[in-house]
Amino acid sequence: MTTSVTRTRKDFLSILDLDSADLERCLDLAAQIKADRLLGREAPTADALGGRHVAMLFEKASLRTWTTFEIAVQELGGHVVALQPDIVLGKREAVADIALSLERWLDAIVIRTYSHKQLEQFATAAPMLHVVNALSDDEHPCQALADFLTLREHWGPLAGRTVAYIGDGNNVASSLAHAAAMLGVHLHVASPDGYTLPDAVVQQATGAARHGARLRLFTDPADAVSGVDAVYTDTWTSMGREAEAEVRRGVFAPYQVNEALMSLAKPGALFLHCLPAHRGEEVTAEVFESPASIVFDQAENRLHCQKALLVMLFSTAPA
Ligand code: CP
Ligand code: NVA
């Protein structure tokens, strides 16, 4: 393996837990790990997590994130502990008590939960345990790693490109905004009133911007998409918001990514989606299944990026 690994923070709860150089290095390492995968047990990282135990605690549904983390740990020589689905943070016992118990047995934990604050509380309570955010209500940083590895594979250097995100200013949009800023990618976000990117995220992305990356907010999706290199969307109703689905279907209807909207982007513009997708809602079947769509490349790259992330985290001794 030629890519050097440096020390990062103990946890990965947010893209902001990496600095720009670490983020670039994570993408480089992911590309190297992807290329090395055909070597199987001969891959240089095949024993990077040898003798380590990594638990998975998921309070929300998952196909891609669970599967890719389980394979990632296994391919790095570690052991996965799938925690029982009835382990819910703060339900049977206090968040800190769960964290303090688990850190006596484990080296890392991958958590998908609702409250980002609870996730932070958990990570603070367990100074010897690496904690990875597998999606919270606020952020989905593992997704953003895969998104930019995928774009880099298609484009080469990322800096100076422009991506438009159309729809809910949710967890996926927030992590995309953090990573875009740090990688020098301009981001246009078009959302209806009341569903915009949180102010805090706009400030964080603005503060983290490199290479002149600019974050611009729009209400009209046509304005946001005009001349961009890629268009990204996500579900109109994130997990935990199901009671609002009917209202959201109405509010977001003008934000559907369809062929008319895609035609306003640059010729050859790419289409991205974190999945799961809802054809006929946030994206039409025509766009989702078009040659512009790189959604399954994104899904594949979840695996390689998470392997890279785990290698980097485990190169950092906890406090
Ligand atoms: N994109 C993503 O996180 O997919 P899952 O919800 O299936 O894990
Ligand atoms: N925004 C979506 C992403 C799913 C991967 C959700 O939180 O449900």
Domains of the chain listed by start with CATH number: 15-139+302-314 (3.40.50.1370), 143-298 (3.40.50.1370)
Residues 22 and 42: their CA atoms lie apart, in Å, by 26
Ramachandran angles phi, psi of 162, nearest 5°: -125, 130
Pocket test for ligand 2, best of 135, 137, 278 (most atoms within 8 A of CB): 135
Residues 11 and 120: their CA atoms lie apart, in Å, by 9
Predicted confidence band at 133 (pLDDT cuts at 50, 70, 90)? Answer: very high
Q: Which amino acid is at 103?
A: E
235 alpha carbon – ligand 2 mean position (Å)? 7
Given a contact cutoff of 8 angstroms between Cβ atoms, the answer to whether 178 and 201 are in contact is yes
Residues 236 and 98: their CA atoms lie apart, in Å, by 33
63 Cα nearest atom in ligand 1: 7
162-166 β-sheet, strand order: 215-218, 186-190, 162-166, 230-233, 270-273
Q: What is the mean pLDDT of the chain?
A: 96
User: What is the structure's pLDDT at 3?
Assistant: 47
Q: Which whole number is the average pLDDT over 58-65?
A: 98
Write out residues with Cβ below 6 Å of ligand 1.
62-65, 135, 143, 274-275
312 alpha carbon – ligand 1 mean position (Å)? 22
Q: Which whole number is the average pLDDT over 74-91?
A: 94
* Active-site annotation holds for 274: yes
Write out residues with Cβ below 6 Å of ligand 2.
135, 170-172, 234-235, 238-239, 274
Q: At what angle do helices 20-36 and 141-155 cross, to 10 degrees?
A: 70
Ramachandran angles phi, psi of 57, nearest 5°: -130, 105
Which residue CA neighbors atom 7 of ligand 1 most closely? 63
Residues 219 and 191: their CA atoms lie apart, in Å, by 5
| 230 vs 84, more confident | 230
Whether residue 276 has a cis bond before it, omega within 30° of 0: yes
Residues 299 and 19: their CA atoms lie apart, in Å, by 24
Predicted confidence band at 85 (pLDDT cuts at 50, 70, 90)? Answer: confident
Helix/strand/coil for 253 = helix
Pocket test for ligand 2, best of 235, 244, 252 (most atoms within 8 A of CB): 235
Instruction: Give which of 303, 242, 231, 235 is closest to 274, Cα–Cα.
Output: 235
68 alpha carbon – ligand 1 mean position (Å)? 10
Q: How far is CA 175 from the centre of its chain?
A: 6
Given a contact cutoff of 8 angstroms between Cβ atoms, the answer to whether 148 and 264 are in contact is no
Given a contact cutoff of 8 angstroms between Cβ atoms, the answer to whether 138 and 164 are in contact is no
Question: Residue 4 pLDDT > 90, yes or no?
Answer: no
Adjacent-strand bridge partners of 232: 165, 272
Predicted confidence band at 2 (pLDDT cuts at 50, 70, 90)? Answer: very low
